[in-house]
Amino acid sequence: MSSESSKKRKPKVIRSDGAPAEGKRNRSDTEQEGKYYSEEAEVDLRDPGRDYELYKYTCQELQRLMAEIQDLKSRGGKDMAVEIEERRIQSCVHFMTLKKLNRLAHIRLKKGRDQTHEAKQKVDAYHLQLQNLLYEVMHLQKEITKCLEFKSKHEEIDLVSLEEFYKEAPPVISKPEVTMGDPHQQTLARLDWELEQRKRLAEKYRESLSNKEKILKEIEVKKEYLSSLQPRLNSIMQASLPVQEYLFMPFDQAHKQYETARHLPPPLYVLFVQATAYGQACDKTLSVAIEGSVDEAKALFKPPEDSQDDESDSDAEEEQTTKRRRPTLGVQLDDKRKEMLKRHPLSVMLDLKCKDDSVLHLTFYYLMNLNIMTVKAKVTTATELITPISAGDLLSPDSVLSCLYPGDHGKKTPNPANQYQFDKVGILTLRDYVLDLGHPYLWVQKLGGLHFPKEQPQHTVIADHSLSASHMETTMKLLKTRVQSRLALHKQFASLEHGIVPVTSDCQYLFPAKVVSRLVKWVTIAHEDYMELHFTKDIVEAGLAEDTNLYYMALIERGTAKLQAAVVLNPGYSSIPPVFQLCLNWKGEKTNNNDDNIRAMESEVNVCYKELCGARPGYQLLTNQLQRLCVLLDVYLETESHDDSVEGPKEFPQEKMCLRLFRGPSRMKPFKYNHPQGFFSHR
Amino acid sequence: MDRVVPQAVPLGQMEVFQALQRLHMTVFSQSVSPCGKFLAAGNNYGQIAIFSLSAALSSEAKEESKKPVVTFQAHDGPVYSMVSTDRQLVSAGDGEVKAWLWAEILKKGSKELWRCQPPYRTSLEVPEINSLLLVPKENSLILAGGDCQLHTMDLETGAFTRALRGHTDYIHCLALRERSPEVLSGDLRTAKEVQTIEVYKHEECSRPHNGRWIGCLATDSDWMVCGGGPALTLWHLRSSTPTTIFPMRAPQKHVTFYQDLILSAGQGPCVNQWQLSGELKAQVPGSSPGLLSLSLNQQPAAPECKVLTAAGNSCRVDVFTNLGYRAFSLSF
């Protein structure tokens, strides 16, 4: 051990330090012992204090002797020499004492030094020992702490808790009788158990891995099988298409439609869904299709980075072009307008088939920036229609759907927010563009689920299915009646222009057998012309003559009498009756202002129109009204009282059977025809 | 000429029908309530409307005051004539006479007090009753109608007492001669109870192209004014001679004596005021193209409602507070 080595070391040091000094002294002592007595020993015996006293006395004597010498010398004399000599001998003795004393002092000093040195050496040796021991102690302590801190690997393993261990481990391993008392054994046992468990689990793991491999392989196989199935199914579907068509179950078509429908904008989607549902549930004559380019629709939703790149490119290009050629403000504005009025590339087409095989084709578009829907209409008939001149506007795409609901003329945008957008690009109204874009009727917006409440203008209007569903049935029915009434009118106009009032056989009972007055002319007139006529003022003032109505002029003649009838045809024919205003030219001009009977005739056709409607749906109303006017003119002319002062027979002899010619305070003529008796009476 | 621009209200089927009805409405008859504050008007659809004259004439009158307080369907056919007793409103139209209590008439859904039909001879067509006349002394009602007879009905018992024949054509109008209990009636050819004046035969007043019918009749005991087909003429009854012929071209439908004037109205929008000498004092235009009935509210109980109302070939009743101009119009 190191302590031993340091012990070994120390004595060497001591010896090496102390030995030579003692040796020298010993040698000098032994040399001089034989000759002189040891002054060292004398030093030990003499008292240093007395030596000091002696020294002081010697110095004093010497001083005294010197002083005496000096005195003697200064006095001079021969006898003095002996005294001087005596004194000199004394001083020499004193000098000898001094020398001895000096020697003694030196020796003492040396001794003292040696002693000190020796003591120092000893102290150093002890000090070194102490250091060694301390070092050893520290070293030991370090070792102890190291040992104490030693963590065996077994402590890193999470062992199961003691209770579990004793529960689960078999007694062979756990050896409870041994391990309970001895923690070392316990830990060993626990480690044993751990090892065994791990081995078992490793086994299991290997097994499961191999299982998994097996199963994965099976999955692969099945996947391949399935993927080979898909093309087979497709081919079966293709093959079944002819069968589908044969059985009128176009599933494929419907499926494709639903695929494209996913790209529709929300209002068109609502319309598509509701219309398809309605068509399937209630109305087999309605068919829905989607037209347009799906790719363009997808292109509208390109990811923003692409478009930003495009923008930066196009900006750069634009800058260049602006340097070369500045586009005029008008062109820029035009582009902005076009951008604002842009349509979504997809559109929904509805085909409504009516009883007589005529079809109403409606194409619905969605204007993306304005958030409204528009519709374009077209009527096709089973047979080719020859359009009479007066029927030009009846089936024109511009006006055939006008005022489907009262007041819905489709010339203004229903979205109040659009006005601000229009102001920015200088569009006054949508009216200028409806021919191209289609009409934004209110019912179209409702079918698309768009609702624009006037009281609270909203920023974003979302498409609502319930709104669309609630309006679908009424609107479809109205559309059908509209088409059919227009077609009926179309046919009637063709006949009217030839001067024949076409009365169907089931309406013949409304009129007498013989009607002499004839319809001579039937033409359209413009709205402004109608307003200018002098006998139509009442109708205009009552607000019944709007620019959405159609206006006609009929001329009925008998003999010299000419009856002009100005007709206002409301787009909602035949639920809203046409309104007639009459002007008779016979012996003067008579209108409802100056002749009560003309007023009564107007009342007969305008107010009592319900009996003239004929069989439902009442498209015969106009022709029946015209026929009745002819009958009324007959009655009027024939029942005119004869003027006795004028010579000659009556121009129109009375052929009608009337009970009384005049009745009531205003002396009305009998305008009411009674069937089947065939006479005329008053209302 | 100023064109009235109508409001752009979307017109559905109901609105169009109502507008057409209003355009073709004719108000045939009027009658003032016994308290003088209400005016009843009957039209050609068989409706009677009650207007509040006091509300319409008051200083806070608004647009709604010119609308009827209540309107109800009185008859199936037109209401040709109405007359008021001191408690009832009697209306007659297509062959039936009905009476309503003035006190109850303002509540909606009031039922008629009584109704009856004069005994008619013919059954093929029900004749209309053109004119009603109250005879207060006998408390009876005289009906003149389309069957050329005058029926008298006792108001208490409701029985028809007499039927006077003698006219050859249907009777337009009746007037009561106060002093002697005579009833004048006019038709195509005038026939009175006592005298027959065939107006048209007189050269001065006949106008053949208009016909022979007498549309209106008014009497002031000794004097009678009648007009229609022939010109409007003032007759002296005792001597049965025409004294003044009023130069009015259009046939007149209603004529009445007022203070020292004769008011007449007929074809043409104006109410004409004539002096007894035959001069036209004033022609006040109204709002209807032709007038059928004039009514003067002279009830003593309501002097502030003393107005002349005129109605005819429109849905409006003109109110004249001062005979010189039209103040406003009540409308159905």
Flag whether pLDDT at A149 surpasses 70.
yes
Flag whether pLDDT at A312 surpasses 50.
no
The pLDDT confidence band at residue B66, using thresholds 50, 70 and 90, is confident
The pLDDT value recorded for residue A313 is 45
Instruction: Please report, to the nearest 10 degrees, the dihedral formed by the alpha carbons of residues A660, A664, A668, A672 taken in order.
Output: -60
Contact B189, B197 (CB under 8 A): no
The pLDDT confidence band at residue A437, using thresholds 50, 70 and 90, is confident
The pLDDT confidence band at residue A244, using thresholds 50, 70 and 90, is confident
Contact A329, A339 (CB under 8 A): no
- Nearest chain A residue to B5 by CA distance is A541
Flag whether pLDDT at A212 surpasses 90.
yes
A681·B125 Cβ contact <8 A: yes
Query: How near does any CA of chain A get to the CA of B123, in Å?
Result: 12
Contact A283, A464 (CB under 8 A): no
- Contact residues, chain B, for A530 at CB < 8 Å: none
pLDDT per residue as tens digits for the range B290-301: 888 888 888 777
Mean of per-residue pLDDT scores for chain A: 80
Crossing angle for the helix pair A48-75 and A79-149, nearest 10 degrees?
150
How far, in whole angstroms, is CA A114 from its chain's centroid? 103
Select the highest-mean-pLDDT range: A19-33, B209-223, B262-276: B262-276
A542·B10 Cβ contact <8 A: no
Q: Return the domain boundaries, chain A.
A: 39-147, 156-249, 264-300+331-484, 499-641+650-681
pLDDT per residue as tens digits for the range A534-584: 888 888 888 888 888 888 888 988 888 888 898 888 888 878 888 889 999
The pLDDT value recorded for residue A123 is 96
Nearest to B313 among A542, A576, A596 (CB): A596
- Residue bearing the bigger pLDDT, B109 or A140: A140
A592·B172 Cβ contact <8 A: no
Mean pLDDT of A12-28: 49
- Contact residues, chain B, for A683 at CB < 8 Å: 77-78
Residue B268 and residue B205: Cα distance in Å, rounded? 20
Flag whether pLDDT at A18 surpasses 50.
no
Mean pLDDT of B176-181: 49
List B214's β-bridge partners, or say none.
Answer: B228
- Nearest chain B residue to A662 by CA distance is B170
Residue B42 and residue B109: Cα distance in Å, rounded? 17
Nearest to A575 among B13, B24, B26 (CB): B13
Q: Which residues of A touch B (CB under 8 A)?
A: 403, 405-408, 531, 538-544, 546, 570, 572, 575-577, 579, 592-594, 596, 599, 602-603, 606-607, 641, 643-646, 659-660, 662-667, 681-683
pLDDT per residue as tens digits for the range A52-67: 898 899 899 889 888 8
Flag whether pLDDT at A135 surpasses 90.
yes
Query: How near does any CA of chain B get to the CA of A523, in Å?
Result: 24
The pTM of this model reads 0.67
Mean pLDDT of B183-208: 48
Mean pLDDT of A320-341: 69
Which of these ranges, A371-385, A574-588, B173-187, B193-207, has the smallest mean pLDDT?
Answer: B193-207
Of B151, B174, B155, B21, nearest to B86 by C-alpha is: B155
Mean pLDDT of B128-149: 76
Query: How near does any CA of chain B get to the CA of A501, in Å?
Result: 24
Spell out the residues 6+ positions from residue B320 whose beta carbon is closer than 8 angstroms to its own: B271, B284, B307, B308, B309, B310, B326, B327
Q: Which residues of B touch A (CB under 8 A)?
A: 3-4, 6-13, 15-17, 19-24, 26, 28, 77-78, 80, 124-125, 128, 130, 146, 170, 172, 208-209, 211, 213, 215, 253, 267, 289-290, 292, 313
- Nearest chain B residue to A568 by CA distance is B16
- Contact residues, chain B, for A541 at CB < 8 Å: 4, 6
B26·A659 Cβ contact <8 A: no
Spell out the residues 6+ positions from residue A324 whose beta carbon is closer than 8 angstroms to its own: none
Flag whether pLDDT at B214 surpasses 80.
no
Interface test mutation site (partner B, options A581, A663, A679, A681, max chain B beta carbons within 10 A): A663
Contact A373, A365 (CB under 8 A): yes
pLDDT per residue as tens digits for the range A613-671: 877 777 888 888 888 888 888 888 888 766 655 666 677 777 777 777 777 777 788 88
Select the highest-mean-pLDDT range: A123-137, A171-185, A522-536: A123-137
A544·B20 Cβ contact <8 A: yes
The pLDDT value recorded for residue B92 is 86
- Contact residues, chain B, for A677 at CB < 8 Å: none
Query: How near does any CA of chain B get to the CA of A663, in Å?
Result: 7
Contact B89, B79 (CB under 8 A): no
Query: How near does any CA of chain A get to the CA of B39, in Å?
Result: 20
Spell out the residues 6+ positions from residue B308 whose beta carbon is closer than 8 angstroms to its own: B258, B263, B271, B294, B295, B296, B297, B319, B320, B323
pLDDT per residue as tens digits for the range B302-325: 777 788 888 888 888 888 888 888
Whether the ω angle into residue A183 lies within 30 degrees of 0, i.e. cis, is no
Contact B11, A544 (CB under 8 A): yes
A408·B10 Cβ contact <8 A: yes
A541·B6 Cβ contact <8 A: yes
The pLDDT value recorded for residue A32 is 52
Residue A14 and residue A322: Cα distance in Å, rounded? 109
Nearest to B208 among A594, A644, A659 (CB): A644
Question: How many inter-chain contacts (A to B, CB under 8 Å) are there?
Answer: 110
The pLDDT confidence band at residue A430, using thresholds 50, 70 and 90, is confident
- Nearest chain A residue to B229 by CA distance is A667
Mean pLDDT of A217-236: 91
Flag whether pLDDT at B184 surpasses 70.
no
Which of these ranges, A15-19, A142-146, A485-489, has the smallest mean pLDDT?
Answer: A15-19
The pLDDT value recorded for residue B122 is 64
The pLDDT value recorded for residue A304 is 47
Flag whether pLDDT at A104 surpasses 60.
yes
A607·B253 Cβ contact <8 A: no
Question: B236 vs A407, A497, B185, B229, B239, CA distance in Å?
Answer: 62, 60, 16, 19, 6
Nearest to A659 among B124, B172, B290 (CB): B124
- Nearest chain A residue to B293 by CA distance is A665
Mean pLDDT of A364-392: 81
Flag whether pLDDT at B4 surpasses 50.
no
Lookup: tokens for A576: 């809203």
The pLDDT value recorded for residue B255 is 83
A543·B19 Cβ contact <8 A: yes
Mean pLDDT of A6-29: 49
